[in-house]
Structures are given as structure tokens and as C-alpha cells.
Structure 1
Amino acid sequence: MSECLFCKIARKEIPAALVYEDDSLLAFKDIAPQAPVHLLIIPKAHCEGLADMTPEIAAAVGGLPRVAARLAQEQGVAASGWRLLSNCGPDSGQSVYHLHFHLLGGKPLGGRLCL
């Protein structure tokens, strides 16, 4: 999908503060962080959201918890705790329709799940 913001980031057409990249996933700092550590982890291939995953996207995303744990360690929030979430659809607050996961940490997040 050529006009998708996150596809453009994955193709390196738009700069981002990258913190991780492998063959299928990319992680970068959120431009409007909601916590001291706020990273976005995306599959490089386009997928609108969790409800739209193909078997290939599901395979790529299967390694995401391991990547998130590694990033939490590297960002210094593994010991204090961190949150990993994905919004799916307009009522959830999804604003970019490319599957992505928010990794948040660095402060007490409480029970609130909305960003």
C-alpha cells in the first residue's frame, strides 16, 4: 500500500528513529510518546490490523513478543514493567491502519489501557 505512513517508514521513504529491524519487523520511537518509552513495532508488510492478518503476517508477528522483550530490556524498562498493545478499528483508537504494537514503559501505567 503505497500511501500508508508505516509502509513508507518500512521502505525508508520517511525517516524514523529506528531501534530494531529484522527481515519482517521494524521498531521505531513514537513521534508523540505517551510514556517515557513509547515504541511502535510493525510488520514490514502491509496489514491493516489484527483482524486482517494473513498467514504470512501472522508468522512475522509470531516473533513479536520476543522482540518486545528484547527492546524492553534495551530501553531499561524490563525490570520495572512494560505494556504491549495493539488497537484494532476506529472504536479502539486505531489511527494508522497498518498493524502496529505499542511498547510502553518507564512510568507507572496503572490500569488505564487507552493511550
Structure 2
Amino acid sequence: MSEASTTGSAEAQPHVFRDRSFRFFFTARTIAVAGAAVTGVAMPILVFDISRSPFLTSLAAAGTVLPYLVFGLFAGAVADRVNRRTVILCAQAVAALALASIPAAQALGVLT
């Protein structure tokens, strides 16, 4: 038995990156995860740079888990009952607006 007959030919197997929806999702998810990673590092540094307080910096870092604790059960119940695509798009849009408010506040000189 040849190897091609046991594993199938490369042409017969679908490649996930040929699917436009998957490519779009993969690109969006990569950008979102990269942004979250940068925010996770930059936010505590920004808080410390502005406040010079280790306590406030630790509160800001700990505050990143607060939404999961407060909204976790409720958000899970809602997400099970509505269109998941809508939930993902709305959540990402709200997160993007919240993060965009930080450089906007800095540019306006009102970041405290």
C-alpha cells in the first residue's frame, strides 16, 4: 500500500485557509489576541507612569479579571440565546472603543 492511498492526496484534503470565512476569522482573532497581549502589558505600565502608585497599578492589573467575575454567568446565558456572531462582533467593537478612549483621552490631555 502506498503512502498516498493511506493518507489521501494533498489535493483531496481541504485546506482551511482556502475558506474565506475562516481566513477572515483567523485574521480578526489574531489581531484581537495581539491587541489584548499588548494591552495586558501596556496598561499597568501606563497606570504606574501616571500614578506612581504600586497599589493603583495592582488594582488596574487585577481589574482585568473583574468583568469575568461580574458578568460571566449572565453573559454566558445571553450568548447561548442570541446569535454568536453578533455577540462576538458587538463585544469586539465595545472593547475596541474602550481601548481607543485611552489614547483619545491622552491626546485631549484629560487622561488621569
Question: TM-score band, normalised by the shorter chain?
Answer: under 0.3
Question: Greater share of strand residues, 1 or 2?
Answer: 1
Q: TM-score, length-normalised on structure 2?
A: 0.24
Higher relative contact order (CA 8 A, sep 6+): 1
Which has the greater radius of gyration?
Answer: 2
Question: Greater share of helix residues, 1 or 2?
Answer: 2
